[in-house]
Structure 1
Amino acid sequence: MNGPIVVKIGGSLMDAVDPLIGLFKKRHLAVLIVPGGGRFARQVRETGISGDAAHWMAIAAMEQMGWFIASREVSTVTSLRVPRRVEVLLPYTLLRTTDPLPHSWDVTSDTISAWIASSLSLPLILLKSVDGIRSGGIHQNLITQEVPTEDVDPCFLRYVIASRVKTIVVNGRKPRRLGNLLDGRKVLCTTIGF
């Protein structure tokens, strides 16, 4: 995979951040990391809050995960720009200013990362704790239309397909697999593309 990319690191991968960052840096990649909310967003959900308050608190949770990633000697950015090196987006101010997506638990950092990739006209790699997207318990190698799944948020596939964001969903707990993907090798993943 050549050129700059957007990579969403799922919040469930907090304990896997170091090898992922190491992989990106070793390859001198231009990566804009979009952090998931992880345990911080889960705490917001557990409060039972909904609507605007929950939306902005969950985005603040993404920002907390972003600072965690930044603590691994990763530069931070707060605006939309094509990355020149490994950078992590602290999304709160950007999203407060642009407010591009519905305020709902149906929109998580998955769809936010797709909006960022679309805005920058860059491909997206979604790193999750699963091998790709499953529908009806069956791994999907290629998706070109919406399918029922619980592996991404309910708005993600609709947004990616409508916006034509070239997307790959791969297991972030398997850095070697990610490395092979970046080298252009065929790996177990889900491609959403055209």
Structure 2
Amino acid sequence: MVRELKSPPAGPPLAVKMGGSLYNCVPDLVPVLLASGRPLLIVPGGGMFADAVRKCLVDDDSAHWMAIAAMDQYGWYIASHGIMTTTLLQVPVRPAVFLPYCSVRQHDPLPHSWDITSDSIAAWIADLLELDLLLLKSVDGIMDNGSLVKQINIPVKTEVVDPFFIPFVLEKEVRTTIINGSCIDRVKKFLRRETVSGTRIGTTF
């Protein structure tokens, strides 16, 4: 009996946060993630689903859990383009969309505030699983006076991520890269471990 040999991964495991603003790019991004050959845990943003929660004017606790449930909704949208889902808080063997509600509800690791968004939830997941984190945004990275900031190793104020995010990833040493997810070729190159334009956050690069 001949045993089939499995090819090794094309790169190390990675947590990939897919921003809700990339809703229209999902059909192009999913094939790229699948073709990467890397074990990717894809953390969905909240997007339009979380925006709907903001309009409800509910208390912080209710809004927190509603917004995380919104991440599950966006996750199912991503999955509808041909990628598997998982509720297991572990590194997958192949690219999978993580539906976070049950795990976050169980661990309840973060403050219940609009200062905490899906970015910080993705950072918590990356820290727990000891993964590098890729944030796919609809911007090129963090800007300062119109210029792209290529490296951040101290807390800075920005609207690109929530206020909790940068101090958290620096403290936990979660190596983070922000790139423009609407630039599909840029995502391809990053997953091939090529240098691309973006912002790196961390002191251990």
TM-score normalized with structure 1 length: 0.96
The answer to whether structure 1 residue 64 and structure 2 residue 91 are counterparts is no
Give 1:80's match in structure 2, choosing from 69, 78, 89.
89
Aligned partner letter, 1:161: L
Larger C-alpha radius of gyration, 1 or 2?
2
My pick for the range that moved more, 68-77 or 109-118, is 68-77
Q: 1:83 is paired with a residue of what secondary structure?
A: coil
Q: 1:93 is paired with a residue of what secondary structure?
A: helix
Deviations 1:55-100 (A, max 9, x none): 0000010010011111112111112101210101111111110000
**RMSD of aligned C-alpha atoms?**
1.2
Distance 1:121 1:34 in 2: 15
Aligned partner letter, 1:48: L
Distance 2:183 2:144 in 1: 21
> Residue in 2 aligned with 1:2?
11
The structural deviation recorded for 1:184 is 2.7
Unaligned stretches of 5+ residues in structure 2:
1-9
Q: Report how many residues are paired.
A: 194
The answer to whether structure 1 residue 167 and structure 2 residue 161 are counterparts is no
Deviating runs (4+, > 3 A) in structure 1? 135-138
Unaligned stretches of 5+ residues in structure 1:
none
> Residue in 2 aligned with 1:128?
137
> Residue in 1 aligned with 2:55?
46
Aligned partner letter, 1:104: S
Distance 2:71 2:36 in 1: 25
TM-score normalized with structure 2 length: 0.91
> Residue in 2 aligned with 1:93?
102
The structural deviation recorded for 1:137 is 4.1
Distance 2:168 2:147 in 1: 22
Give 1:117's match in structure 2, choosing from 115, 126, 130.
126
Give 1:158's match in structure 2, choosing from 167, 171, 182.
167
The answer to whether structure 1 residue 105 and structure 2 residue 105 are counterparts is no
Q: Would you say the 8 A contact 2:30–2:82 is kept in 1?
A: no
Q: 2:68 is paired with a residue of what secondary structure?
A: helix
Q: Would you say the 8 A contact 1:135–1:147 is kept in 2?
A: no
